[in-house]
Structure 1
Amino acid sequence: MTSWRGSGHGARPTAAGLLTLAALVGAGTAHAGAAAPQALPAGCSGASPITCHYAVPPGDYDVTVSVGGAADGQTEMWVEARRLMLPATRTAAGAVATYSFTINVRQPEGQPTGQGGAGNAGLDIRFTGSGPQVSAVSVKPATRPLVAYLAGDSTVCDQPAAPYTGWGQMVTTAVRPGAAIANYADSGESSGSFLSSSALFPALLSKVKANDPVFIQLGHNDKQTSASAYRSNLTTMITRVRAKGGVPVLVTPPVRRLFDGNRLTSTALHVNGVGVNLPAEMRSVGEAQRVPVIDLTAKSKALVESLGPSASAQLFLRSSVDGVTDNTHFSQYGATQMGGLLLQIIREQNLPLAAYLR
């Protein structure tokens, strides 16, 4: 089978020297014994971080990596615009751990409208951590994976620069090979602008296949949207996804950190400037259209209020840590927590992606 190997000036398909691996669907297996090769895989350079580039066209790819080496190491794996695939993983001296993923590659690689930059064409992988080590990388086209599409705003998107982090960048660690996350969320989008922008909903829709789930979280920027317009926009998306054989899933927006005493305000709960309770409208559309609804508003409200005005700050951006105070956008920790709430409900409702979660 043809795979892709990197080179300093791009990549080309080659069948020689490929990493031979058994099918891996869960946590990697550490192999103690002979130390991993000292040379980096083709296409990779650097020490901390180690960066790898493969000049593949847009699409979905099965990627297998082996981390570890002669010395103790700790390695994280990020792809494209800050999508976390492998959380910090320790390997003992002389041990190698092998992991597999299915990764969606798009150009631009971050936000579909190019906000924050277009990135590099092809697949980019970064190995970070305290002592990152990688001994092998294999990249080959995926065969008919399930693709979970994300339609959302800045709280979901692949944020190109830290500390801003969307939950769509963090849920990727939980997805087994055979399924990929295609994050089409984009900063500043309302339900209407996402629907009408050619780089967003139409581009997403053109790629949806039968049984692919499409998670729709829009509301943060519908600050002046009427109830009827909001319902119409959501219903249009549902109808068009279903026409392609996809599975639409509505996701109510996570709360903002705006307190009145120990309780969140109506603005935090997405009652907009013209008095529309957006999560309530989304739940109503879900019921009317018989579409699954992930109530991330309710779940995040419970989490934020349980932490209280002070401790909940760690979920969002803080000037003391991040250089900016922002009660809407998430820290990496907060995005991880919000993604965890979403994954919990996907499992509970047995939505199409559930069978592919670790």
Structure 2
Amino acid sequence: MSEKYLFDFGTGEAFPGYTKVTEKSVYSDKSGFGFSRSDQMYMINRETSKPLFSDFCIPLRNSFLVDVPNGVYTITFLIGDALVETETTIKYNDNKVLIRELKTYPKQFVRESFTVNVNDGRIKLTFFGCAPRINAMEISLKKDAVAMFLAGDSTVADQPIDGYPYAGWGQCLPQYIKADAVVCNHAYSGRSSKSFIDEGRLDSIWDQIKTGDFLFIQFGHNDSKPDKARHTDPFTTYKEYLKIYIDGARQRGATPILITSVQRRMFNDDGKIIETHGDYILAVKELAIEEGVLLLDLAEKSKNLYEKLGREGSKALLMWGVPGEFLNFPNGVSDNTHFQEYGANFIAELVVEGLREFNLQSLNLCLRS
């Protein structure tokens, strides 16, 4: 099994030890790597003396695929152009944001590394941006990454590409995490603290989590639903189910972190957010004190953000769109709970802000400055 894959993009000679990627490098099962489509990629050579940076590819909404054995991998991107400014966004598996609007100036060359979890034998990297670049790429097996597991609902989950721009904050979190750590997002739409366990989703986390890892826990949106499969009572069963997450993480040497539910965008006549989660937020806070668990108050942080932006300004964060605004929602959409990707980025920033406030060295070592 190979533990390192090196790719040099462009028209020049391949850098020693690297596999050359050209216009003819379209993915096939035989080659095991290449772009998903033969158009929307342009190879250029500036003929500079900068190794690996003189030639490059301009991939326009094209995906680069690499077959690898399942595991955790660090991907290092080399990006830049000797003559013009660039702007590059890169997503992993269609929806996880690794790089967002990275800009470089002429003759500025950067190396950015991120770690991802591969479960289906393939790395898929899709390139966006006004002027994207990829000069070279290094993919190497990462055996000692700290894992940051996410257990939650739709506001956290990785949302499918056919629902774009619908997004959970968990899929935007990787861009803020150093290559020494990997985000493992197990959150799933429509789940409560109870149904997440009953469906075996927590068992999947227990199969992977290890000493030194983190478990982020955000439920509440669906615990108040009346159906038997999801409903919990704030001060009894809700706390009892959350304690299962806490105890399980600690038994495995991991650190549990409770997160209060992100607020819904519901304003009163005075321009203040209406608390729609009732006692569920209070119950999480009580449990954090009772169990001595770190608490990230995302409810308070999102409330402050919405109120700062105001009734109209905050619509840009949520799935609000007029007919024809979003390709996947041709009839328009008005949703005060779920984020579009633009807003999910803001919420992910609030999560990172909260994590920094813990001033926990083992956690700070995972966060980008």
TM-score under structure 1 length normalisation: 0.81
Q: Is the 8 A contact 2:56 2:134 kept in 1?
A: no
Q: Is the 8 A contact 2:197 2:203 kept in 1?
A: yes
Change (3 A) 1:50 1:298: same
Choose from 93, 103, 113 the match for 1:90.
103
Q: Does 1:36 align with 2:53?
A: yes
Choose from 62, 85, 92 the match for 1:50.
62
Q: Is the 8 A contact 2:221 2:261 kept in 1?
A: yes
Q: Determine helix, strand or coil for the equivalent of 1:254.
A: coil
Choose from 208, 233, 238 the match for 1:226.
233
Bigger CA radius of gyration: 2
For residues 3 and 292 of structure 2, the distance between their equivalents in structure 1, rounded to whole angstroms, comes to: 43
The Cα RMSD (Å) is: 2.4
Q: Which amino acid aligns with 2:67?
A: A
Change (3 A) 1:278 1:81: farther
For residues 146 and 82 of structure 1, the distance between their equivalents in structure 2, rounded to whole angstroms, comes to: 21
For residues 129 and 83 of structure 2, the distance between their equivalents in structure 1, rounded to whole angstroms, comes to: 14
Q: Is the 8 A contact 1:190 1:218 kept in 2?
A: yes
Structure with higher RCO (Cα < 8 A, 6+ apart): 1
Structure 1: gaps (5+ residues): 15-31, 41-45, 108-120, 272-276
Partner of 1:25: none
Q: Determine helix, strand or coil for the equivalent of 1:356.
A: coil
Partner of 2:292: 290
Partner of 1:117: none
Q: Is the 8 A contact 1:80 1:125 kept in 2?
A: yes
Q: Is the 8 A contact 1:102 1:179 kept in 2?
A: yes
Q: Which amino acid aligns with 1:215?
A: F
Partner of 2:204: 203
Change (3 A) 1:95 1:295: closer
Q: Does 1:279 align with 2:273?
A: no
Question: How many equivalent pairs are there?
Answer: 315
Choose from 68, 76, 79 the match for 1:67.
79
Alignment of 1:159-174 (within 5 A): 159-161=159-161, 162-174=164-176
- Deviation of 1:159 after TM superposition, in Å, equals 1.1
Q: Is the 8 A contact 2:92 2:124 kept in 1?
A: yes
- Deviation of 1:59 after TM superposition, in Å, equals 2.1
Give identity over the alignment, percent.
31
- Deviation of 1:131 after TM superposition, in Å, equals 2.2
- Deviation of 1:36 after TM superposition, in Å, equals 3.1
Choose from 180, 185, 188 the match for 1:183.
185
Q: Which amino acid aligns with 1:36?
A: F
Q: Is the 8 A contact 2:73 2:116 kept in 1?
A: yes
**CA distances 1:133-160 after superposition (whole Å, capped 9, x unpaired):** 1111111110211111111111111112
For residues 335 and 220 of structure 2, the distance between their equivalents in structure 1, rounded to whole angstroms, comes to: 18
- Deviation of 1:350 after TM superposition, in Å, equals 2.2
Q: Does 1:258 align with 2:227?
A: no
- Deviation of 1:319 after TM superposition, in Å, equals 1.6
Change (3 A) 1:58 1:353: farther
